[in-house]
Amino acid sequence: MKALLLIDIQNDFVPGGRLAVPGGDAIIPLVNSLQTKFDLVVASQDWHPAGHLSFASSHPGRAPFEQIDLHGLPQTLWPDHCVQETPGAALHPALDTRRVEAIFRKGMAPDIDSYSAFFDNGHRKATGLTAYLRGRGVTDVYLAGLAGDFCVYFSALDALAAGFTTHVVTDATRAISDDGFRAALADMETKGAHLVLSSDLVADPGALLN
């Protein structure tokens, strides 16, 4: 079985949000079209408690996008974003969620960030996504969402490490940094991910056959 993973398509990550990804809302029509091509659609949702230690505001004198060491892990400091129960943490209202069977929340532990939909950044705790996909008989995962140089990238690496055949839908993904996205795409491809276009998946009836 092939599954579509929608990564963090949330209000705070689109233009007007607190950590906006340039053009982030442009992927929504693409992912909505893609959903009908898959038997299983799953989403992830950044879901931080207030005062999360990945927020620059939790470190007096520090500014967003500075780099620090956080309990032994490199950490980019972010603007406050996707705080639990705030409008910014909600999935984007234009995202069609009728086919989304499960939502895996991440980033809830206050002292460690979680880019990947599968694990926190230290691989100390799993979200349960791997077991869920295996339980459904998934062999291939297709990733789309935000942001391509962070959460999509690290989710793809973890999907590869878990043994899933991994595809990144490049035009249904947007990144914070163009240079960062190019580097992420190159690294994902080197490690075995397949880079695909949504138009190919939608146009070719045989592209997603089991």
Tell me the CB-side half-sphere exposure of residue 122, using CA atoms within 13 A: 14
Cα distance between residue 162 and residue 139, in whole Å: 10
Residue in 177, 183, 112 with CA at minimum distance from that of residue 146: 177
3-state class (DSSP) for residue 64 = coil
Tokens of 187: 């690294």
Q: Kindly name the residue from 2, 12, 25, 106 that is annotated as catalytic.
A: 106
Cα distance between residue 33 and residue 103, in whole Å: 19
151 in catalytic set: yes
Q: Kindly name the residue from 8, 25, 80, 140 that is annotated as catalytic.
A: 8
Q: Kindly name the residue from 25, 82, 151, 158 that is annotated as catalytic.
A: 151
Are residues 118 and 127 in contact, defined by beta-carbon separation less than 8 angstroms? yes
Burial 80-108 (b: 16+ CB within 10 A, else e): bbbbeeeebbebbeebebebbeeebbbbb
Are residues 201 and 207 in contact, defined by beta-carbon separation less than 8 angstroms? yes
Cα distance between residue 146 and residue 150, in whole Å: 8
Cα distance between residue 124 and residue 65, in whole Å: 24
Residue 74 CA: distances (Å) to CA of 65, 85, 117, 142, 189: 12, 27, 18, 27, 24
106 in catalytic set: yes
Q: Could you give the residue numbers annotated as active site?
A: 8, 106, 151
